[in-house]
Amino acid sequence: MAAKFISYVDQDKLGNWFIKLTDTVDDSTAICKDLDEYKIKIEEMGDDYGGDIEVVWTRSNLLTPANYQDLTDKMGKLQEEYKDEIDKINNNQDNAQNEQSGFNPNA
């Protein structure tokens, strides 16, 4: 069973967005001011679970539309950068689920 992480997006007093990353198993947190920092922290914290983590995203009601759009745009660029790796992970998960359910697409 995957360890659950919460990625909570909020903004600071200066109006900049940040992500508060929380490991719900040991209740440790990290504040990430950009996606590069987030990427490093989630890898470090996820290593404790062999990378078997589930990430739930939430956001503050105070997050401005401009900050939300900025984060969404940056995440989209990052997703494109890692598209092949994401596809590989998703395909491996689909294959594992198919094997567990006994589904055989070739049958």
DSSP, collapsed to helix, strand or coil, labels residue 14 as coil
Residues in the chain where the model's pLDDT stays below 70: 86, 92-107
Tell me, yes or no, whether 107 lies in a domain: no
Q: What was the pLDDT predicted at 84? A: 77
Domain count, the chain: 1
pLDDT of residue 105: 46
Cα atoms found within 13 Å of the Cα of residue 64, Cβ hemisphere only:
10
The pLDDT, as a whole number, for residue 107 is 45
Of 96, 5, 106, nearest to 49 by C-alpha is 5
Q: By the 8 A CB rule, do 15 and 67 touch?
A: yes
- Tell me which residue range forms the domain holding 71: 3-101
> Within 10 Å of residue 105's Cβ, how many Cβ atoms?
5
Is there a domain that residue 53 lies in?
yes
